[in-house]
Structure 1
Amino acid sequence: MRKIISVFLFAVCAGNLFCASAREKEPEWVSAPKNIYSADQYFSYVGKSKNRAQAELLAVEGIAAVFEQKINSASTVSSRMEKAGSEGKVAVAKVQNFSSKIMRSVDVDSLVGVELKEFWTDGEKNVYALAVLDKQKAAELYSGMIQKNNGEISKLLNVSTDDEFSLENYARIDFAREISCINEKYLSRLSVVDFSKASELEKKTVSSAEINSRLLEIARQIPVYVYFKNDPDGRVQAGCSRILSSFGFRTSQDKNERYSFTGDLEFKQNVPKDKSSVQCRYFFKAVLNDSAFEQNLFALSFDGRSASNTYDNALVRAFSAIDSRAESEFKKFLQNIAVHY
């Protein structure tokens, strides 16, 4: 019996020594990733968590932070950009092999060239993940996208047209501006991984500010007649005129303008049975028309309800809601005008 106990104690001690040894033998990249992935050639970051998915996210966020961008800064992409990207006309960042959690949390533009290289779990069940960005590889990817997009911008800006002051041409130039904004993000990231290459390409890239100046010059030459029926004090007309002006267009009182944005309004007062508030039910209908081609370019129709302690206050809130919705929908329309070139 004594012999068995001795053997058992020896086994326990040996096991404890083995576990201690295993815990101490952590990979060098966990504490000193730059010893494995040279800082001259790579950006590296180690994420640590109790589960692998979170460790991966922390590692990737560490790389994304290098670009001094908000981690979750993904911007809305227009449908025309999505279409151009799917057709291969425009180069947009595409990455694979990342979890949905990472894709929701980190701007895809900051994931270009990033790889999850290593994983390790210590004796306390902490998971370590190593994310690595190969600077040369990333520089090549960003440079390629910028150059491709520069070619597309040049095509858009140099289209020959007899209808320069039209919404179609406005949309064409606006699309070039949208692509240039993407290129500026890529240039910013390229400057982090290869400053000299970024400086070289920046000289060959038309800035969004330059394109926007041209866009505004076109918009100023596009007057739009604005009129609404049943518009108390012309408030909705004034709001829609402001929206058009915010995009650079001129508004007009001349019914014979090529473009017109006209509509009809209806307001109804309602008092609930408990008389806790006064409600204003509103109905909005409008059409943007191009008389040159006898086309309705954009139709907008919606309704809603606002409430307050008096009908006048409820009406003010209704005007505000109409203004906000109309601005949002008109912006979407401008970004999705079909672009031909």
Structure 2
Amino acid sequence: MKQKEIPQYALFVNVKDLKEMQRDIWSEEAVQATMKFNKKRYDIDLLLRGSHIRKMKKKSYYIEFYSPKIFQRAKEIHLNAEYKDPSLMRNKLSLDFFSSLDVLSPQSQFINLTINGKNEGIYLQLESVDELFLKKRNLADGSIFYAVDGDANFSLMSDLDKKPKTTLLSGYEDKAVKQGDEEKLEQFIFNLNTWTNTEFEQNIEKYLHVDRYLSWLVGIICMQNYDGFVHNYALYRNHESGRFELIPWDYDATWGRDVNGKVMEGDYVRAQGFNTLTARLLAVDSIKKRYIKKMNNVLNNQFTVEYMKPIVYQMHEELKPYILKDPYVKNNIEQFYEEPAFILSFIKDRTAYIKNNLLAF
């Protein structure tokens, strides 16, 4: 089989602007730059993205296209450094796994990046979740909110300071929001916190795509992403159905490693998950049974060593030829080679933990 070639993106930035970007890592002011790909030139706005990654040697970037305005059917892309993941694969493995569970999930691909001729190594290009994300999938028009911090916890209480929220939109950033939908989100959060158990069971399906939420819950529990319960997702309100759906985002802290790349044992995140919405859903007996049925199906068919092994190794082989050229990874090459076995071992441990704990609730 011919080795899959990773696309090459070349960025060119004014040296003064690049130095200023590297100096003021928290700046939200984009700089003008040029991107060349497949002998075509794109005028872009370039910005650092992420939070803790900004302090690392290898940065992540946000790119918005303005001439031409569209690139690969997108008006903006995210280039993730995956600096703390020794495999570089966890984010893509996770997003692809969500797609296999019928959860709306961003597309992603590996690319090799240069800036002003300097090799910056392998990056993961993430599709932006916006109105074009919906159009590409022939989804109904709607609004998109980004969950940007721990206050996007579906609660009336702040996850950050443990006090009542001053606004129920706390934790969310408008991405592509239509008039009236901020109020719809506030109403949803208020209702799910104040309905009686009977009211919740009778009304939740009108506000939430429960089946997709349960599929998302199965995915996040299997992969063990601790942060994803209260942020690291986009919220889509479908205008045809009037219901909300979760779209996962930034899933590098998964498959047995935390956000710093440290080992996260297979029993770190409980099988019931977290956040107020999850707790209320699983308190409804009929919904809990649906969740357990979904989970058992995935544990028997997709979250298995047999299913994941060829996926993990194929992705690993795709990256191998480029790893030695990545200036930020080449000194940790031995760990990169060990990661597929580590990930498969995590799957075995995590599966055993989930199966044991499904029986307990």
How high is the TM-score relative to the length of structure 1?
Answer: 0.24
If asked which structure has higher relative contact order (CA below 8 Å, sep 6+), I would say 2
The structure with more helix, counted as a fraction of residues: 1
